[in-house]
Amino acid sequence: MLFGIAENWELSPQVFRNFMYQKLKKRRVSQFICYWSLVIGHWSLVIGHWLLVIGYWSLVQRHLKRTLNKGQKTLNERPRTKDKRPRTNDK
């Protein structure tokens, strides 16, 4: 077997040209499939990454919303208490 052609065939330039054209056509199809599978895989990774980022961000926001008191806007402010008397450290 020479390039997949039986030896008893006459290896004329036309036969060889047709054979190479068929191989090139198959290679083009496989390259096309490989290229588009890489493109689709790349974009699925990008979209999956951003979905993870958005999900994590919403989880952090929900956690911050739960841990901060309702009247407290930032972590530096004092939480509101029911009695408005000033706090003292007297024992």
Residues found in the chain: 91
35-42 CB contacts, 8 Å cutoff, 24+ apart: none
Name the nearest CA neighbour of 73 among 82, 64, 81: 64
Least confident of 41-45, 47-51, 71-75: 71-75
- Amino acid symbol at 46: V
Domain boundaries, given as residue ranges, for the chain? 33-68
pLDDT at 67: 76
The whole-angstrom separation of Cα 17 and Cα 25 is 12
pTM of the model: 0.47
pLDDT at 62 over 70: yes
Residue 40: pLDDT above 50? yes
Q: Which residues pair with 75 in a beta bridge?
A: none
pLDDT digit string (tens) for 4-16?
555 555 667 777 7
